[in-house]
């Protein structure tokens, strides 16, 4: 009798386990945070970083979600006019064919100073001055004791892991294009001399997170990238990991 009762109890236990295992599992929808994700979100952790080199006069396509359609463009614009004017810009932008993504950014301010180093007989004052920013590392030998103006640059905001992307992120400044570096160097005294540089990423070779968003219906879908920006002699943009928030999730 005891054996029969024991067998009956085991049968009930096995049946209840089978019944529980056949019930559909509900995926937990966690708040979308920088550097974190849940089973609802699209996530990629690369075994080795995806390295995109900054190539002069080219824009490199970056596909975030693996659908073979480019989402971002990594660009390097360099130009020289008559050997006197040199400009350089390294930037990240939404792809022209898929301009939906925006990048969280902020203004990087830099004071522009005037200097009397330019050698010229031109009577116009602005044509006899050198303009330079502190970031350009220009050593002015005849400084003028006041700055000329303040210039700002749209640079990507760098985030740390764990920040919740919620209503507070709605107030961030999202742009279709941001600069990692830019410079404007003119060395023709007849038109003035400029040595202005935005070195926002100089001496910052560390991994960090970028946050993106795109408008979907009446809401925003967010994404984060764990990246590293290398501005040494072999400049590159490296992606280690990314996640894209599932539509309709937290």
Over range 143-158, report the average pLDDT. Answer: 84
Q: What's the pLDDT at 157?
A: 92
For 11-61, the pLDDT digits (tens) are 544 444 444 445 555 566 778 899 999 999 999 999 999 999 998 888 999
How many residues appear in the chain?
Answer: 250
For 64-107, the pLDDT digits (tens) are 888 888 899 999 998 877 667 788 899 999 986 666 899 999 99
For 115-139, the pLDDT digits (tens) are 877 655 555 555 567 888 877 878 8
Up-side HSE of residue 166: CA atoms within 13 Å toward CB?
Answer: 6
Sequence-distant (≥ 6) Cβ neighbours of residue 95 within 8 angstroms: 61, 62, 70, 71, 72, 73, 101
| Measured distance CA(179)–CA(156) in Å, rounded | 7
Sequence-distant (≥ 6) Cβ neighbours of residue 160 within 8 angstroms: 34, 35, 208, 209
Q: What's the pLDDT at 12?
A: 46
Does 227 score more than 70 pLDDT?
yes
Q: What's the pLDDT at 228?
A: 94
Phi, psi of 241 (to 5 degrees): -165, 155
Q: What's the pLDDT at 6?
A: 44
Note whether 212 and 222 are within 8 A (CB): yes
How far, in whole angstroms, is CA 193 from its chain's centroid?
A: 31
């Amino acid at each position: 009798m005891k054996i029969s009762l024991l067998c009956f109890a085991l049968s009930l236990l096995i049946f209840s386990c089978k019944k529980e295992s056949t019930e559909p599992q509900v995926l937990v929808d966690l708040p979308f945070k920088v550097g974190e994700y849940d089973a609802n979100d699209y996530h990629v952790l690369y075994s080795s970083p995806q390295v995109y080199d900054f190539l002069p006069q080219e824009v490199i396509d970056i596909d975030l979600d693996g659908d073979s359609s480019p989402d971002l463009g990594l660009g390097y614009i360099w130009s020289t006019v008559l050997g006197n004017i040199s400009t350089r810009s390294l930037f990240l932008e939404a792809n022209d064919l898929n301009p939906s993504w925006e990048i969280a950014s902020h203004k990087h301010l830099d004071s522009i100073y005037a200097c009397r180093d330019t050698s010229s007989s031109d009577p116009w004052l602005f044509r006899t001055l050198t303009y330079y920013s502190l970031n350009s590392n220009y050593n002015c030998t005849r400084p003028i004791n006041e700055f000329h103006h303040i210039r700002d640059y749209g640079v990507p905001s760098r985030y740390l892991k764990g920040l919740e992307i919620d209503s507070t992120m709605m107030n961030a400044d999202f742009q279709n294009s941001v600069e990692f570096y830019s410079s404007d160097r003119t060395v023709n005294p007849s038109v003035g001399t400029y040595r202005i540089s935005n070195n926002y990423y100089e001496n910052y070779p560390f991994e960090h997170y970028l946050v993106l968003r795109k408008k979907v219906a009446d809401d925003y879908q967010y994404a984060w990238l764990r990246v590293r920006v290398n501005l040494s002699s072999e400049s590159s943009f490296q992606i280690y990991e990314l996640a894209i928030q599932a539509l309709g999730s937290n």
